[in-house]
Amino acid sequence: MLDKKHRKERGLKIWRYVDLAKFVHMLATGSLYFACPSELKDPYEGWLPRSHMKALMEINRGVLDQMKSAQDTFLAQHPTRDRAPFDALLQDARRKLDLQKQLREANSNFGVNCWHINEHESESMWQLYTAAGQGIAIETTKARLEAALKGDGINVDQVRYADFDRDEIDKGHRHYGLFLKRKSFAHEQELRATILLPKPGSGTLVPCDLGGLIAKIHIFPKAPSYYADAVRYAAERADPAIKAPVVTSKLLDPSDY
C-alpha cells in the first residue's frame, strides 16, 4: 500500500509542450521519443557536482599511483624485463579511469524523456518549447506516464537542482546523474523518464499507450479555432482510444471581471 508521500508523487500533474510536428509524430508512431543526453541543450547532462567529481578523480588517481608504484618496484627487482608491456597496461588503466570519459560513455547508454511539473500552465514553457503562434501542451500525471510507457527498466523521477560548484550530492537518494541538474535550470521543474538505449548514443522511440497517457490537450493561447479542430482530428484518426478533451488555452485572454 502506497504511503502519503508516494500517493502525492504519483498524482503530480505534468506537462509536455511540443510543436505540432512533434505531436503528430507521437501520434503516428504511438510512442514517446527518448533522447540521448548529448542531444539536449545542457552540456552538464549526467554530470556531478564539483566536489563529487573531485573525490572520484582522487580515488582513480590513487589506484593509478598504486599501479605505478607496484610496476616500478617489480621492474627494479627485475631490471632485465621489458617494461613496454607494463607501460601499455598502465596507459590502458589511465584511459579506463578517465572519469569524464567514463561519465560520457555511461550517459550515452541512456535515453531521457522530459516533462514539466506544474499545477497550472506555464507561459515560459509555451515560449521555450513551442513555435510562436502554434504548438500544444499535453497534460497528464506521473502515474499515468508510468502506466502508459511500455518498456523494461524505465525509471521516472523528479529532477533535483544543485549548485554544482558548492553543493554535494544528497546521500541515500536512489537516482543521481541524469536526475541531477544545475540550479540555472530549476525553472524547468522537470520530471523525466529514463531507459537503457538499444544503441548507445542514439535516441529511441518507446511504445506508449497515448489514450491512457493524455488527460487533456491544450492548444497554444490565441490560436485560431481551426487549429484545435486539426489537432482533434489528428488525434482521433491516429488513435481512437485518445478521448482527451482538446481545449484552447485562455492564458492570454483579457480579464473577464
Residues 132, 77, single domain; the answer is no
The number of distinct structural domains making up the chain is: 2
Tens of pLDDT along the chain (257 residues) come to 555 555 566 789 999 999 999 999 999 999 999 999 999 989 999 998 998 889 888 989 999 999 999 999 999 999 999 999 999 999 988 888 888 898 999 999 999 999 999 999 999 999 988 877 789 999 999 999 999 999 899 999 999 999 999 987 776 666 677 999 999 999 999 999 999 999 999 999 999 999 999 999 999 998 988 999 999 999 999 999 999 999 999 999 999 89
Residues 215, 114, single domain; the answer is yes
Asked if 30 and 142 count as a contact pair (C-beta separation under 8 A), the reply is no
**Residue 193, domain member (yes or no):** yes
**pLDDT recorded at residue 198:** 96
Cell 497554444 belongs to 220
What span, in angstroms and rounded, lies between the C-alpha atoms of 133 and 104? 37
Residues 120, 86, single domain; the answer is no
**Residue 6, domain member (yes or no):** no
**pLDDT recorded at residue 132:** 72
**Residue 218: phi, psi to the nearest 5?**
-100, 135
What span, in angstroms and rounded, lies between the C-alpha atoms of 87 and 82? 10
**Structural domain that includes position 231:** 13-45+110-248
Q: Is the dihedral angle over the CA atoms 121, 123, 128, 133 positive or is it negative?
A: positive
C-alpha cell at 168: 554535494
> Strands 204-207, 246-248: parallel, antiparallel or unpaired by DSSP?
unpaired
Is pTM beyond 0.95? Reply is: no
**Residue 253, domain member (yes or no):** no
Residues 163, 136, single domain; the answer is yes
